Structure 1
Amino acid sequence: MKKTFLMVGVLALGLGACGDSGTPAQRSGDTADTGAPIPVEPDGGIGDGATPLPEPGGTTPVGDDKGMDEMEPTIPSALRGRWGMNANDCDASRSDAKGLLTIGDQTLKFYESVGTLTKTAERDATRLRGTFAFTGEGQTWQRDVVLDAQDGNTVLIRREYGDGAAPGPFRYERCAS
């Protein structure tokens, strides 16, 4: 429906530009005249400086102010790695590292659950806000999560929002390699 409406609008705009009505200044595209035609961009949009719509199946560059569904769902590299709530969580020989958080390109791995990034609302080099689909202990749930690297990417602050979200911020320190 939207595609048809857009095509009809472009055709109408094109037909209007083909007519010989108006003054010579209007026909020449002189923008000083109030009846000047609106330029058409190569993608069919009007030449008003608006960002063209993304191509179907394409990705949106990081930092673009697109909506939550349009951003590429990946976690910034500065946030990836192993993070512990205390020094024992970073000890790879321990099997009880309940405060360990391992962040991949699309996942948050906790002691007994895994969250997969499904939508990104905000993202820059050291911060992410997105929706994660979690599974763990036979249950599934979704959570809006903010990950924020601080102090030269040595500290991570994690916050959750929404129904059933854990209270308060959680502070992690980056584990040594």
Structure 2
Amino acid sequence: MKRSLLPATVPLVMLLAACSGASDNAAAPEPAETMMPVEPDGGVGDGAGPPEGLGTPAIPAPFYGVWDYVDGSCAPESDLRIEIRPESIGFYESLGELTAIDIASPDDITVTLAMEGEGETWDMQRRFVLSDDGATLTPQPVGEESFEPMPLKKCE
């Protein structure tokens, strides 16, 4: 008779043992199941933004706006007029999408642009230097490109 009770009591004893001391371990999720919070911009939920260099490059705000040659009219048809936005620069009959930027100081940047205009595409680098008062912007050549820097005024 002892033999018939033994098989029935073993599962009962194992069930009780599993319920009694294992409750602390059962509440903790397995490491593979732990959720990691993610912020809206894709950063880890620790308050940090994306790692350096992985975000989209952007031109600093003091450079934004419409600029034209200091003696220009600021009219859309002015051939020296440019429009600077965070990720692009519009020139007369062409548009450059920002692909890289080197910020030497708050008033001195060099941009690399993927240009498109009049059915053609090309890459261009251009340096832009703001005056101390932020009212004048001077484009300057980079590398082998050569032109006389012509100061631009900010248009209203």
TM-score (norm 2): 0.60
Q: How does 1:163-174 map to 2 (within 5 A)?
A: 163=144, 165-174=145-154
One-letter amino acid of the counterpart of residue 167, structure 1 = F
Could you tell me how far apart the structure 2 residues matched to 1:76 and 1:123 are?
A: 12
1:116: Cα distance to partner?
1.2
Q: Is the 8 A contact 2:66 2:83 kept in 1?
A: yes
In 2 relative to 1, CA 166–89 (structure 1 residues): closer, same or farther, beyond 3 Å? farther
Give the structure 2 partner of residue 78 of structure 1.
62
Residues 31-80 of structure 1 show CA distances to partners (whole Å, capped at 9, x for unaligned) of xxxxxxxxxxxxxxxxxxxxxxxxxx9343xxxxxxxx668511010011
Q: Is the 8 A contact 1:143 1:160 kept in 2?
A: no
Give the structure 2 partner of residue 34 of structure 1.
none
Give the structure 2 partner of residue 130 of structure 1.
111
In the comparison of the two structures, how many residue pairs are matched?
108
Q: Is the 8 A contact 1:143 1:162 kept in 2?
A: no
In 2 relative to 1, CA 79–140 (structure 1 residues): closer, same or farther, beyond 3 Å? same
1:170: Cα distance to partner?
2.6
1:106: Cα distance to partner?
1.2
In 2 relative to 1, CA 124–101 (structure 1 residues): closer, same or farther, beyond 3 Å? same
Q: Is the 8 A contact 2:67 2:154 kept in 1?
A: yes
Q: Is the 8 A contact 1:76 1:124 kept in 2?
A: no
In 2 relative to 1, CA 72–173 (structure 1 residues): closer, same or farther, beyond 3 Å? same
- Match of 2:141, SS state, is strand
Q: Percent sequence identity over matched residues?
A: 25
Could you tell me how far apart the structure 1 residues matched to 2:56 and 2:70 are?
A: 32
One-letter amino acid of the counterpart of residue 85, structure 2 = G
Q: After TM superposition, what 4+ stretches of structure 1 lie above 6 angstroms from structure 2?
A: none
Could you tell me how far apart the structure 1 residues matched to 2:54 and 2:127 are?
A: 18
Could you tell me how far apart the structure 2 residues matched to 1:89 and 1:161 are?
A: 27
Aligned alpha-carbon RMSD (Å): 2.4
Which ranges in structure 2 are unaligned for 5 or more consecutive residues? 1-48
- Which has the greater radius of gyration? 2
TM-score (norm 1): 0.53
Query: Does residue 105 of structure 1 match 2:86?
Result: yes
One-letter amino acid of the counterpart of residue 125, structure 1 = P
In 2 relative to 1, CA 151–142 (structure 1 residues): closer, same or farther, beyond 3 Å? same
Q: How does 1:128-167 map to 2 (within 5 A)?
A: 128-163=109-144, 165-167=145-147
Residues 3-54 of structure 1 show CA distances to partners (whole Å, capped at 9, x for unaligned) of xxxxxxxxxxxxxxxxxxxxxxxxxxxxxxxxxxxxxxxxxxxxxxxxxxxx
